[in-house]
Structure 1
Amino acid sequence: MVSNPGRRTALLDAGIEVIAAAGARGLTFRAVDEEAGVPTGTTSNYFANRDALLRELGHYVFVRLTPDADTVAARLAEPPSRELEVALMQDIVARARADRAGYLALFELRLEAARRPELQEAFTARYRANLDEITTAHVEGGFPGGATTALLLYLAMSGLLLEHLTLPGVMDVDDAGLEDLVRALVVAVVPAPEREQLA
């Protein structure tokens, strides 16, 4: 197996683009080679088979979609609040706009795992770890609401992104309308600060 981390990452990025454009069934070594602009046979030198490539893509998509650590640190330096939660969720939508292929690949990989039990266990473990990280960050970060609030927010945002990225005409909102929708979603899910509840 060839070891060139930069080339491997480029192939994984190309795999994400292929899945986003053609679905998991369009993911072939040749398609990844073409997308990456490398000689035919390069991808097969890095991944033992298609399942190995799919498994690595299932992990790598989270790496690709993880926000910049400095940006996150700057956001989380603010006091935890429902308003900060709105900003964080709007950041997710902005990242989805910037990397539509990454988020579409995320959805496609989930669908492929639903069809293939041999991938489902590995993908479930990775997605569960992601949800656990989100829940821990919400609860330990001191945001309003507990673990159930974090789960509801995760589910609501997943649905919103699925609609927006796959069939944007269903919601038929422009960028400003989408930001307003995210705000309304967070307000509906995340409890108001105690001072607002008492008012």
Structure 2
Amino acid sequence: MARNPERRTTLLDAAIDVLASEGARGLTFRAVDARAGVPAGTASNYFANRDDLLTQSGSRITARMVPAPESVDAAMRPAPSRELVRSLMVWLVQRIEAERTGYLAMLELRLEATRRPALRDRLTRAVREQLDENVRFHLEAGLPGDTDTVLVLYLAMTGVLLEHVTLPGVLPEAELDRIVETVVDRIVPEG
């Protein structure tokens, strides 16, 4: 296996682009090489097989979507409140909009995971760990609500994001912030 980390990242970013634009069926080593602008056969030097490419693409998507610690620190400066949760959820929507390709690629990976047990196991673990981290973060930050609050908020925001990114006309753009505020106000208790 080749060991150039920058080239591996370039190939993974190309794989994410292919997943988002062509779906999992379009994800081939040849398509990744073409998207990355590298010689044919390069991707096969970095990934043992297609399953390896899919799995590593999922890890790369997560790395691209997780905000930098200093951004989180800045977002968490206000006192814990429902209003802070509202602003965090609006920020989440903004981050997903900025990483739309990664979000669409992750949806493709989730669909592909229904047909690939090994990928399903890895994605399930990764998503569960992230959800557990979200619960831990919420509780340790002193934000209002409990574990169930975070779970219901996660499920509601997943639906908002799915509609917004895949079928943007369902939730009018001009009303998106208001919809996010309503979701938070209905789920997160005051105080």
Q: 1:187 aligns with which of 170, 185, 188?
A: 185
Q: CA deviation at 1:141?
A: 1.1
Matched with 1:68 is 68
Q: How does 1:15-34 map to 2 (within 5 A)?
A: 15-34=15-34
CA distance in structure 2 between the partners assigned to 1:159 and 1:87 by the alignment: 18
Matched with 2:7 is 7
Q: How does 1:50-89 map to 2 (within 5 A)?
A: 50-89=50-89
Q: CA deviation at 1:134?
A: 0.6
Q: 2:175 aligns with which of 177, 181, 184?
A: 177
Matched with 1:121 is 121
Tell me the SS of whatever aligns to 1:115: coil
CA distance in structure 2 between the partners assigned to 1:78 and 1:11 by the alignment: 39
Percent same amino acid at aligned positions? 54
CA distance in structure 2 between the partners assigned to 1:25 and 1:134 by the alignment: 32
Q: CA deviation at 1:59?
A: 1.5
Q: CA deviation at 1:38?
A: 0.9
Deviations 1:155-197 (A, max 9, x none): 11111111111111222x12x411111111111110112xxxx
Q: Which ranges in structure 2 are unaligned for 5 or more consecutive residues?
A: none
CA distance in structure 2 between the partners assigned to 1:2 and 1:115 by the alignment: 29
Q: CA deviation at 1:77?
A: 2.5
Q: How does 1:19-168 map to 2 (within 5 A)?
A: 19-168=19-168
State the one-letter code of the partner of 2:119: L
Q: CA deviation at 1:66?
A: 0.8
Comparing 54-63 with 43-52, greater Cα deviation is found at 54-63
Q: CA deviation at 1:68?
A: 2.3
Q: CA deviation at 1:117?
A: 1.4
Indicate the RMSD between aligned Cα atoms, in angstroms. 1.0
Q: CA deviation at 1:60?
A: 1.5
Q: CA deviation at 1:120?
A: 1.1
Q: CA deviation at 1:123?
A: 1.1
Deviations 1:62-103 (A, max 9, x none): 101111221111111221111111111111111111111011
Matched with 1:196 is none
Tell me the SS of whatever aligns to 1:169: coil
Q: Which ranges in structure 1 are unaligned for 5 or more consecutive residues?
A: 194-199
Deviation above 2 Å: which 4+ runs of structure 1? Answer: none
Q: CA deviation at 1:108?
A: 1.1
State the one-letter code of the partner of 2:183: L
